[in-house]
Structure 1
Amino acid sequence: TGFGFGGELVQDPNTNLGASGLAQFMLGAVASGGRGSYTGVMWKPYERFRYWGFYLQDDFRITSKFTLNLGLRYDINGLYKTRHGPASNFCLECPNNVTGLKGKTIYEGDPEWPGGGSDIAPPNWKNIGPRVNFAWALNQKTIIRGGYDIFYSNAFAGINSPGQSAANSPGWNQEYDWQGSFYPNQCAPFSGQCVAFPLSDTAIDKGSLTTPPLPSTFPGANRDPLIGIGLLQFFTPPPHDPMVQSWNLQVERELPGNMMISVGYVGSHGTHLVGEQFRQFNYVHTRDLLNYRTTIDANIPITDVYSGKTATLLGQTYAGHDGVPVTELPRSLLLKDYPFYGALSSLQNNTAFDGTSIYHGMNLRLQKQYSHGLSFIAAYTVSKKITNAVAGNAAAMLVDPIHWARSGNLGGRGLNWAGGGGDIFQDFDNKNADRAIAIDDIPQMFNLAVTYELPFGNGKPFANRKGVLNTILGGWHLTNNFNAQSGLPLSINGPCTELMNHGNSGRTGVCRQNLIGDPKFSGNRTKEERIQQWINPAAFEPAFGSDENFWANYDPTDDRAWRFGNAGLHLPGIRSPGFWNLDAALAKQFHLTERRYFEFRWEVFNALNHQNLGLPDTNWCLPPRSDGSTDLVHQDGCKFGRITNIQTDPRAMQFALKFYW
């Protein structure tokens, strides 16, 4: 708990004079404060998670040239249960025993408790995963392989790993906190207690000597002004676990020179994927915004306060919340699904687990077995992945673990993800609008690993001698690993309007801009030009009419105030800079006996000292205007499109001497 004392007395419109903090403390005139706590508990010793898996698998040799591999797996993903005492959760549709409004805390053993067991919810019993694979030898040099399988994942397993705060604990968690500035002339209508944040943009003098005493309960930044409850996190059991179907077909052919070539196709389709880990759903729906715009006080900003009954404002029957008297509350608050609660988030069955994905890839591989001092493996992949599951790494890994692993770590020195906070649904009512190229989509990838024994020493074309000369020159092996790949998709975010940020609308997602041009520069540009401006800022304009004075010039007929930006989750035609790197090593063994020997290694990382550019800044803004003025769009220190980091370290060498016995 903390309090701030320091009243402000305004004498000159252009000058703020601060009062004595000590005097304010002695008078009890509290200007600001903060306190927070959670009902949840830490994860480590108190919660348990159970999993059972069963499988059968066997090979069936149909003919001498055709073999089937058949399997069946059954997964039971249990949900969380508490170790000591009953678990708790929250039921949105259950009537509260005290207020009669929707929303009630439920405990293990209550009639509303799902499944009636000790788990937060009963497990899913339908996770049956078949596997069908085959190998067909057309002749002694050609083999065709293929397969199809289904596997499941438990998205709950990654929630609240050890060490996370109680706020993210499974079950029912309520945040009790308040913070901000006190406004003595504005008090909650039901209790007479002052609220910490103003409910309109009206200027109110702060620091009055008549500031009332600190209330015992205090609505804060994220607490509902009516009942004083803040962030609520709970779990609703999904009807399905995340599922991925995968299939592949590959042709292998033996070539002369101890080489083998293979061409393959790999596909996967994910359903019931995690769209968001914790889904915020207590917000003003787009349909309600449009209804408000066309039928209800269209000329009054939705952030203005309202006094009356909810039925009068909403103009419709609102089950459980109809006809409740309110005084000076934001209109947007009363348009929520659950206006008497603050932020509500849940792993919810029909919202959080509605992500889908599709992946197609072609793999080309050429391999040479060691002969004449040379062996190598070359692999080239062309692929594309599309998804609307924007939960981040978990969803990406679930869709295609192999591709995810490759793109997520470029040899330990590459970038991991692009897009940052953009991977959040912009419009919860239209999540398919965020169906786009996946965050880890890499359309092209090439890898080459080579081992070559230098042609010097006994039995080699050069310096074919025994003795000391062979000891010095013979037996050296040169290895290298070269990899190159395309850049990652980019997600552009920008300033939101008052419609998104103000009035407790509950829309806590991201704001994307209107795409009005090509974000990729045309023509040849120098490296310095690309570093300073990788993305064309003129390709965007503010969405929602982003302006600090938006409501002062409010026009209900202005479509920008009621629509989302048209820029997609990831932009077409522009990505982060590509990547390529070469690591090399030179090694030789010095044998004392057959089993005892020294090995010397000289390893060089980023052997060509190539600089791979990093990610550009994707927070859209423009520099200050010519007169130096700024607003939500024109910002001091704007770095949009600028690259300020690199993906790879400078060239580094290391030497090693090992003894084997």
Structure 2
Amino acid sequence: MARTGWQRWLFGEEQKTVLRASYSLTYYDEGLLTFINYAGGNPGLMQSLFLNPGMPGFPIGQLRLSDPTPPLAMFPEKFSPPFRQAEYTFARGFSSMLPQLRTPYIQTWTFGLQREIVRHTVVEVRYVGNKGTHIWHGFNLNEVNVFENGFLAEFLNAQRNLAINQAAGVNSFQYRGLPGQVPLPIFEAAFGARGSQPALPAASGFSNGTFLNYLRQGQVGAFANALAGSSIYLCRMVGNQLPACARLGFDSPGPFPINFFQANPFAAGAAINLMTDYSYSSYHGLQVQVRRTYSRGLSFTANYTFSKSLSDLFADSPTMTRNYTTLRNRRLDKGPSPFDLRHAFQAYWSWELPFGTGRRWATGSSVVDKIIGGWTLSGIVRWQSGRVFRLSSGRFTVNQNDSGVILNGLMTKDLQKMLTVRPGPNATVFFVDPKLIGPDGRANPEILAPPTTPGVFGQFIYLYGPSLFLPDLALSKEIPLTERVRFDLWVTALNAFNHPSFEVGSVAGSVSIMSTTFGQTTATATGPREIQIRLKLSF
């Protein structure tokens, strides 16, 4: 850690104005949790033992409690290095860490001007900025490919085949030799016979309902991921070239390479998570603060911050894996960070009410003084803009990551203005304008629609949820009984006005436009009003 600062008094000998600047460089220790999560989840550290009815030695309904325990099954069967990834295909993914993983660091700089405006009260205006470098970021390397391997082109052909077949009354995308149709060699390999393995029935292939929906919705990424992660389909495409397929009884090679869809086929359909130091962050904030030191029974501090926080890592946990939208263009993920609070105001104060002995207005009566004298009112009030979230659609038009949304006829700033809080059904709360919700509870497709163009992402829209308002108030009183005995009373009201502040985003609320509960939430960022009463007798 390195720190330096500078300060200079301005404008004469009164020293009411001061100029300050500072810079710091701080390295951040991520600790061991990330290492444990990424190394501890790989094969080699644990062996699973299990026993299910119907397994060898465990006939269903034929054993008694007095019989010896049947032999346990083990996975993996052998527990000795080296652990080959090929032994775990179709069962799990893998994790690793960048060998040259560097320590993340934060550079922070400030520049501010402070001025005493009246006695005991100063105003300070300052700029605060920071930049995070080498921030750790775990993501999946096994992104499905639909471009270079020709799968996207075949998907488009399959869409045309489906349209032609449906016009002829057939709900299938199989090539039937009709005018305008073309053969589909990739799908024919995935659904057809391979060596001693028979072809799949139509319900598992060309007429499969899920696959037909993928074609209608343009979800080429979802289709590719479904084929890549299933031994039923991938093994028919690659045959016994993939060791796992040979173990499953495929006895002849297929026409396609084992890495047709993914860079590491030994984790077929699963993730290859890599922890890197590729990410970054930035923060820029304007802060205004008014402070009054204790004088005449009153002290307070109030501050307001207008800021922007950006990053390419939309995650608030150092152990969280957050995939890039696509490895082809990591810049697509640059946007607001989860810590982006555009506006924040906070004030706290303590005010000795001016009644009673030793205060501005004495009562002249010991009885009255014990009733209205010696009271102190204090509080903390916080208001801040809402938590940032990103709209999703649950559609996968490029790879296995969400493809965003399509915004029709509006700009993001217009959509932001349509976020509001109103009561919903079944003790829920809507945080969007009714115009944004369709009759089935999903987003209104005339305004917010899912992407449908194969191979093309939609828009990635960041919005800010409902603001947070939290007033905490306290009233206290000292009651002297004798010279040596004092009675103290505190009454504290947390969330004094019982104002609910609702949460939206990764922690709560439905932000998927295809959800039937889109725009609804039941979670609150604060609890209900809580009143605490404390009594203390001092002697």
TM-score normalised to structure 1 length: 0.54
Distance (whole Å) between structure 2 residues aligned to residue 443 and residue 257 of structure 1: 32
Q: Which residue of 2 aligns with 1:232?
A: 94
Q: Which residue of 1 aligns with 2:375?
A: 476
1:347-496 → structure 2 map (5 Å cutoff) = 347-348=274-275, 352-394=276-318, 424-496=323-395
Q: Which residue of 2 aligns with 1:53?
A: none
| Structure 1 position 344, deviation (Å) | 4.8
| Structure 1 position 172, deviation (Å) | 6.1
Q: Which residue of 2 aligns with 1:144?
A: 19
Q: Which residue of 2 aligns with 1:605?
A: 494
Q: Which residue of 2 aligns with 1:620?
A: 512
| Structure 1 position 621, deviation (Å) | 4.2
Distance (whole Å) between structure 2 residues aligned to residue 604 and residue 327 of structure 1: 73
User: Aligned pair 1:659/2:537, yes or no?
Assistant: yes
More displaced, 519-528 or 367-376? Answer: 519-528
Distance (whole Å) between structure 1 residues aligned to residue 459 and residue 156 of structure 2: 30
Contact 1:147 1:247 in 2 (8 A): yes
Contact 1:267 1:358 in 2 (8 A): yes
Q: Secondary structure of 1:450's partner?
A: strand
Distance (whole Å) between structure 1 residues aligned to residue 343 and residue 336 of structure 2: 14
Post-superposition CA distance 1:70-126 (Å, at most 9, x none): xxx4xxxxxxxxxxxxxxxxxxxxxxxxxxxxxxxxxxxxxxxxxxxxxxxxxxxxx
1:242-281 → structure 2 map (5 Å cutoff) = 242-276=104-138, 279-281=139-141
Post-superposition CA distance 1:497-519 (Å, at most 9, x none): 4874xxxxxx4x44423333446
Q: Which one-letter code corresponds to 2:492 in the other structure?
A: E
Q: Which has the higher contact order (CA 8 A, sep 6+)?
A: 2
Q: Which residue of 2 aligns with 1:563?
A: 456
Q: Which residue of 2 aligns with 1:415?
A: none
Q: Secondary structure of 1:455's partner?
A: coil
Q: Which residue of 2 aligns with 1:336?
A: 262
Q: Which one-letter code corresponds to 1:534 in the other structure?
A: V
| Structure 1 position 526, deviation (Å) | 7.9
Q: Secondary structure of 1:237's partner?
A: coil
| Structure 1 position 359, deviation (Å) | 0.7
Contact 2:347 2:382 in 1 (8 A): yes
What are the ranges of 5 or more consecutive residues in structure 2 without an aligned counterpart? 51-72, 78-84, 159-183, 196-233, 239-249, 437-442
Distance 1:259 1:333, change over 3 A: same
More displaced, 595-604 or 251-260? Answer: 595-604
Contact 2:416 2:464 in 1 (8 A): no
Q: Which residue of 1 aligns with 2:231?
A: none
Post-superposition CA distance 1:368-416 (Å, at most 9, x none): 1111221111111110011102342339xxxxxxxxxxxxxxxxxxxxx
Post-superposition CA distance 1:1-38 (Å, at most 9, x none): xxxxxxxxxxxxxxxxxxxxxxxxxxxxxxxxxxxxxx
| Structure 1 position 136, deviation (Å) | 1.8
Post-superposition CA distance 1:45-79 (Å, at most 9, x none): xxxxxxxxxxxxxxxxxxxxxxxxxxxx4xxxxxx
Distance (whole Å) between structure 2 residues aligned to residue 598 and residue 456 of structure 1: 18
Q: Which residue of 1 aligns with 2:181?
A: none
Post-superposition CA distance 1:219-255 (Å, at most 9, x none): xxxx969956632223332342212111111212222
Distance (whole Å) between structure 1 residues aligned to residue 98 and residue 449 of structure 2: 39
Post-superposition CA distance 1:581-626 (Å, at most 9, x none): 211111012345777633210111121222223327334245xxxx
Distance (whole Å) between structure 2 residues aligned to residue 481 and residue 575 of structure 1: 24
Contact 1:304 1:331 in 2 (8 A): no
Post-superposition CA distance 1:446-473 (Å, at most 9, x none): 1111211112112444453253322332
Contact 1:512 1:567 in 2 (8 A): yes
Distance (whole Å) between structure 2 residues aligned to residue 346 and residue 227 of structure 1: 15
Distance (whole Å) between structure 1 residues aligned to residue 377 and residue 117 of structure 2: 25
Contact 1:305 1:331 in 2 (8 A): no
Distance 1:512 1:331, change over 3 A: farther
Aligned match for 1:542, one of 450, 454, 458: 450
Higher helix share: 2
Distance (whole Å) between structure 1 residues aligned to residue 75 and residue 292 of structure 2: 76
| Structure 1 position 440, deviation (Å) | 1.6
Distance 1:259 1:173, change over 3 A: farther
Q: Which one-letter code corresponds to 2:459 in the other structure?
A: A
TM-score normalised to structure 2 length: 0.65
What are the ranges of 5 or more consecutive residues in structure 1 without an aligned counterpart? 1-72, 74-129, 180-213, 315-323, 396-419, 501-506, 546-559, 623-634
Q: Which one-letter code corresponds to 1:527 in the other structure?
A: R
Q: Which one-letter code corresponds to 1:464 in the other structure?
A: T
Distance (whole Å) between structure 2 residues aligned to residue 302 and residue 272 of structure 1: 41
| Structure 1 position 425, deviation (Å) | 2.5
Percent sequence identity is 23
Q: Secondary structure of 1:274's partner?
A: strand
Distance 1:593 1:253, change over 3 A: farther
Q: Which one-letter code corresponds to 1:487 in the other structure?
A: G
Contact 2:397 2:403 in 1 (8 A): no
Q: Which one-letter code corresponds to 1:604 in the other structure?
A: A
Post-superposition CA distance 1:519-552 (Å, at most 9, x none): 6276797834794361622332222x3xxxxxxx
Contact 2:419 2:465 in 1 (8 A): no
